[in-house]
Amino acid sequence: QFSGSSFDGDIISVDIYEDGFLIGVGGFGNIKRTTDFGFTWENAKKGTNNHIHDITFTDKNTGYAIGQYGAILKTTNAGKNWEDKSYSDKEIIFSKIKFFSKDTAIIASADGKFYKTTNAGESWNKTGEIYDISLKDISFINEQIGWACYWGSTKEYYVSKTTEGGSYWQTQKFLKDTIIEDIQFLDENTGFAVGRKGVFWTITNSGEDWQTIQLDTNISLNCMYFIDVNTGWIAGNKILKTTDGGNTWNLQLDSLNIYFNSIQFVNSNIGWAVSSKGHIYKTIDGGANWEFEAKLTDNWIYKILFLDEKNGWIVGNYGTI
């Protein structure tokens, strides 16, 4: 049978369940189904081929994934299906997303534009912009107050703060040639940041004061996760832990040729780290021991997100969720 325009993707394998009902799978995550002997086909499950950079959930069922070419995907059934809510401007590359309630969120683009929704992602309005930059990370503590770290057009690195929900940004820290890869504020006064070549910062006084702690310059740091003002982990080509707010660090895992892109803990004992190539490591004792769990993909992975001890997500290139 010829399926006409409803058949818009390669199918590599087909399984027949009963008369007239077939399911086919193929390239770029295509899953097709037909109930009329192949005359027409519908997308049983189709996400996006675009790179996915960040993911967040407002509850166990409702989540959002954002990425390349204005991609915004929404699920209301714990990821069984993803609805395309992509932004109209396909030139935009979304980088980070932060929800403050079930309806209100901010998305940041890779080139420093900020968009806000107040209706659970049904529409997005531009609220502000930091011009001529390449964004590295953001950290918001509420709907109004947040920080952004970025590479500027002057080929130098900066941190800016907003107290107006992203509509206006004021430069707070000039870092020259030191890269910040990840920034996390626990409250308005206390935050942390990590960068390449073993640099870690403790941040106080609403972001005005930065204390630099230089670790081994052979440690390439890319991500971190703090569960309180004292206890946190940093990761890159190694995983290290602090229990005194970053003043001292203990090496927990030397990852050799594996480079960790994201790390998260759900409590002081249970946590996961994911490498750029989809290697998942887990600890149940605060990082004293890290066990390899699985290699999920060869695609580049940007983020790991756990909602609780059992429910977790990773997102990455080519629509990987």
Mean pLDDT on 176-187: 92
Digit-coded pLDDT (tens) for 264-306: 999 999 999 999 989 999 999 999 999 999 998 888 999 999 9
| The pLDDT of residue 81 | 86
| The pLDDT of residue 8 | 55
Mean pLDDT on 29-44: 71
| The pLDDT of residue 47 | 60
Q: Is the pLDDT of residue 157 over 70?
A: yes
* pLDDT level of residue 40 (50, 70, 90 thresholds): confident
Q: Is the pLDDT of residue 2 over 70?
A: no
Q: Which of these ranges, 2-11, 25-34, 51-60, 117-126, has the smallest mean pLDDT?
A: 2-11
| The pLDDT of residue 168 | 97
d(C-alpha 11, C-alpha 13), whole Å: 6
d(C-alpha 179, C-alpha 54), whole Å: 20
Query: What does the angle CA 278 – CA 284 – CA 290 come to, to the nearest 5 degrees?
Result: 50
d(C-alpha 71, C-alpha 94), whole Å: 7
| The pLDDT of residue 256 | 72
Residues 6+ apart with CB under 8 A from 85: 64, 72, 73, 74, 121, 122
Cβ atoms of 279 and 258 within 8 Å: the answer is yes
* pLDDT level of residue 241 (50, 70, 90 thresholds): very high
Digit-coded pLDDT (tens) for 82-115: 899 999 898 999 999 999 999 999 999 999 999 9
| The pLDDT of residue 64 | 96
Look up residue 34 and give its DSSP letter. E
Integer CA distances (angstroms), 53 to 3, 26, 115, 174, 192, in order: 34, 23, 16, 26, 22
- Percent of the chain with pLDDT strictly greater than 90: 74
* pLDDT level of residue 215 (50, 70, 90 thresholds): very high
Cβ atoms of 181 and 212 within 8 Å: the answer is no
Residues, the chain: 321
| The pLDDT of residue 5 | 52
Measure CA of the first residue to CA of the last residue in the chain; give whole Å.
Answer: 32
Instruction: Give the chain's mean pLDDT.
Output: 90
Cβ atoms of 232 and 246 within 8 Å: the answer is yes
44 CB neighbour count, 10 Å cutoff? 14
